[in-house]
């Protein structure tokens, strides 16, 4: 049997060989013509698989290890710098917003103060006007300013609740 036809049905055994899994092999391989050739091919394939495995697991050059660590560190450093720049940009935006709000707060506080001052001025002006009117009345012969007659409030009339209407007469 030519090698090209035999390899069509065979699989690469290197994965199973080094993992320790059992490889499922055809049961008729120990009988019939070409058994020796097939066994030789399997041995050659196993040797090739072991060589590939050893080649892939060669010790790494120390300089190459350091360079890979350096590359990883450079990537992390670049990422940290990008994050810092983004945070600085965000900080600037927040500071600008804060300063705008501080100015707005200052304007509102000034407006409140001016409203309070206007109220005080109006009450003071009204007090002066009342005092001037009282002096005029006093000069004309009216009662002296500051003395006023107090009128007691009228007592509420007696009312009795009867049903759904109020009645002034208790008997009704």
Q: By C-alpha distance, which of 7, 77, 72 is closest to 38?
A: 7
Average pLDDT, the chain: 79
Phi, psi dihedral angles at 165 (to 5 degrees): -140, 155
User: Residue 20: how many CB atoms within 10 A of its CB?
Assistant: 6
The overall pTM is greater than 0.75: no
CB 32 within 8 A of CB 67: no
Q: What percent of the chain has pLDDT over 90?
A: 41
Cβ pair 18, 46 in contact under 8 A: no
Highest mean pLDDT among 6-15, 48-57, 94-103, 161-170: 94-103
Cα(73)–Cα(62) distance, rounded to whole angstroms? Answer: 16
- Domain boundaries along the sequence of the chain: 3-56
In DSSP terms, which residues pair with 92 in a beta bridge? Answer: none
């Amino acid at each position: 049997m030519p090698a090209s036809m035999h390899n069509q049905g065979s699989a690469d055994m290197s994965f199973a060989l080094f993992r320790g899994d059992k490889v499922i092999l055809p049961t008729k391989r120990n009988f019939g013509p070409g058994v020796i050739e097939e066994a030789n091919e399997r041995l050659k394939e196993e040797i090739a698989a072991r060589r590939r495995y050893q080649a892939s697991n060669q010790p790494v050059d120390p300089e190459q290890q350091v360079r890979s660590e350096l590359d990883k560190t450079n990537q992390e450093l670049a990422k940290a710098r990008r994050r810092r720049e983004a945070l600085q940009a965000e900080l600037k935006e927040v500071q600008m917003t804060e300063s705008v709000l501080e100015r707005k707060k200052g304007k509102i506080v000034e407006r409140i103060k001016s409203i309070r001052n206007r109220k005080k001025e109006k009450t003071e002006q009204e007090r002066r006007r009342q005092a001037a009117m009282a002096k005029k009345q006093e000069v004309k012969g009216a009662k002296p300013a500051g003395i006023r007659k107090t009128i007691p409030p009228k007592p509420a009339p007696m009312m009795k609740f009867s049903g759904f209407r109020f009645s002034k007469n208790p008997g009704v």
